[in-house]
Amino acid sequence: MSNSDGPILLVGCGKMGAALLSGWLDRGIPANTITVIEPTPQNAATAGEEGVTTLASIDALPDDYAPRVVVFAVKPQVMADVVPPYRCFAGPQTVFLSIAAGKAIGFFEAHLGADIVMVRAMPNTPAAIGRGVTVLFANAKAAQADRLLAENLMAAAGDVAWIEDEALMDAVTAVSGSGPAYVFYMIECLAAAGVAAGLPVELSAHLARATVEGSAALSHQEGSSPETLRQNVTSPGGTTAAALAVLMDDAKGLQDVMSRAVDAAAQRSRELAD
Give the HSE-up count for residue 140: Cα atoms under 13 Å, Cβ half-sphere. Answer: 3
Residue 253 confidence (pLDDT): 95
CA distances from 262 to 77, 182, 183, 227, 265 (A): 21, 10, 13, 20, 5
E strands along 60-127, which residues?
69-72, 95-98, 117-122
pLDDT value at 4 more than 50: no
Mean pLDDT of the chain: 93
| DSSP assignment letter at 58 | G
CA distances from 10 to 16, 21, 58 (A): 11, 8, 11
The Cα–Cα gap between 99 and 82 comes to 14
> Does this model's pTM top 0.85?
yes
The Cα–Cα gap between 27 and 152 comes to 10
pLDDT value at 3 more than 60: no
Q: Are strands 158-162 and 132-138 parallel, antiparallel or unpaired?
A: parallel
Residue 274 confidence (pLDDT): 64
Q: 71 - beta bridge partners?
A: 10, 97
Per-residue pLDDT of 11-64, as tens digits, reads 999 989 999 999 999 999 999 999 999 988 877 777 777 788 999 999 999 999
Residue ranges of domains in the chain, CATH in brackets = 8-165 (3.40.50.720), 179-272 (1.10.3730.10)
The Cα–Cα gap between 60 and 78 comes to 20
Per-residue pLDDT of 181-235, as tens digits, reads 999 999 999 999 999 999 999 999 999 999 999 999 999 998 899 999 999 999 9
Burial class (CB in 10 A: 0-12, 13-18, 19+), 108: buried
> Closest by alpha carbon to 208, among 235, 185, 188?
188
Per-residue pLDDT of 97-116, as tens digits, reads 999 888 899 999 999 999 99
Per-residue pLDDT of 233-258, as tens digits, reads 999 999 999 999 999 999 899 999 99
pLDDT value at 2 more than 50: no
Per-residue pLDDT of 79-103, as tens digits, reads 999 999 999 999 999 999 999 888 8
Q: One-letter amino acid identity for 157?
A: A
CA 60 to chain centre: 29
